[in-house]
Amino acid sequence: MRQDLVDASTDHFIDRLRRAVAIPSISSEDARRPDVVRMGEWLADELKALGAEVELRPLGIQPGKKDLELPPVVLARYGNDKSKRTILVYGHYDVQPAEKSDGWATEPFELTVDDTGRMFGRGSTDDKGPVLGWLNAIEAHQKAGVDFPVNLLMCFEGMEEYGSEGLDDLIKAEAKGTEKPCLTYGLRGCNYYSIEISGPGADLHSGVFGGTVQEPMTDLVRVMGSLVDTDGNILIPGIMEQVAPVNPDEEALYDNIAFTMNDIFEALGSETTIFDKKKETLMRRWRFPSLSLHGIEGAFSGAGAKTVIPARVTGKFSIRSVPNMEIDKTNEIVCKYVRDVFAKLQSKNTLNVFPQHCGQWWVASPKHWNFSAAAKAVERVWGVEPDFTREGGSIPVTLTFEEATGKNVLLLPMGNSTDGAHSINEKLDKKNYIEGIKLLGAYLHYVAEEPQT
């Protein structure tokens, strides 16, 4: 693939991303489901225009939702040459919620490029930019008149930000008897929990009932405050005991990673990190579990003052899991701990604690030939040897892809740690987008020839 032709198509490729960002494909909001479907159809049309064989595979009704259809999975094939290797790439076209009122400096669903080349917009880095990178790589080969080096299978879903509902069964069904190496990354898992505490039959006025009733909100705050301390230490017995020990060779991998504390300070917009050193910060981010409190449903959260005692509140938190944590064991000890803490409050209110959804951690060997091809592509495009890293985030279907296909899985990077994927002002640097397209193309050429050793 000629890199100069990628550069010459910069405006065109940015416009493609602009059109994608403009579709508010928020999978967690029922009212936005038509927009998620529209995004899948738009993506399918773009692929068809490039000559790919495309199918919009329906997944049926969303579990627990009456008459709400899951968005389709976009399955596409580009090339069907039996003499070439077949590569499967995965991505998602849904995004996190975003409103200008959340604190965005720009309209979240209008791609805005500043004078330093930062492209702001919801989904720019997670995951519309990387998804479109594959389409752009196909188009760049076509414009250069260069034969595409592999058969490319593409699986793009519309529910990743909401737990990838419906995708596991499709992957397992489609994987039978086919050769499908996957491209994604090593990840922590995610166990997401709800704590429901209820008491009165309806919301109450604090002037009338304050001091006479045991308040669910008070109980919930005390329970949630017992889960994790200020420095991020998980206070639930039995969590850290499951974590695989770190050996010296593994620990040494963190020494030379191209990362500075200023990188995370920029992403945070502050210097409020737990640790002051790179290695400790990265290991907490990638290698060890963490527990985060996410919100309280049912409580007053608007501006101003409202003297309400909520009758029922639901606290939400998650644990990012790592090797060798087990989902069922973790769920058991978390729920037992919450029940024990609540029992000690001796409250007359009612508790219900349960896992909402869980995704397994995943780790691959960077010594696999697939990683060797990717490393050569990084050196070709960026002129440096890549770092082999883990990620702190989760994609629930990663392990499903690996187990169903029996193939190696890896990540090819496009964004970086300062992009704010789930935050306000999410962005993707123009340079990363364009060089990322070159990286994807280079990888396909190297992986087509890399010896399978």
Active-site amino acid positions: 94, 160
What are the φ and ψ backbone dihedral angles of 206, each rounded to 5 degrees?
Answer: -70, -25
Residue 278 Cα distances to 28, 123, 200, 246, angstroms: 34, 28, 49, 17
- Taking the C-alpha atoms of residue 415 and residue 433, their distance in angstroms, rounded to an integer, is 7
In the block, which residue shows the tokens 């929990």? 193
Burial of 256 (0-12, 13-18, 19+ CB in 10 A): exposed
β-pairing, 112-113 vs 53-57, is: unpaired
Cα–Cα nearest to 264, from 247, 286, 242, 238: 286
309: part of which helix (H) or strand (E)? strand 308-309
76: part of which helix (H) or strand (E)? strand 73-78
422 annotated ligand binder: yes
What is Dmax (Cα atoms) for the chain? 78
161 annotated ligand binder: yes
β-pairing, 86-92 vs 151-157, is: parallel
With beta carbons less than 8 A apart as the criterion, state whether 315 and 296 touch.
yes
* DSSP one-letter code for 50: T
Torsion sign over Cα 88, 93, 94, 99:
positive
In the block, which residue shows the tokens 């890549």? 386
With beta carbons less than 8 A apart as the criterion, state whether 15 and 128 touch.
no
45 annotated ligand binder: no
92 annotated ligand binder: yes
Residues that constitute the known binding site for Mn(2+): 92, 126, 161, 422
Residues that constitute the known binding site: 92, 126, 161, 422
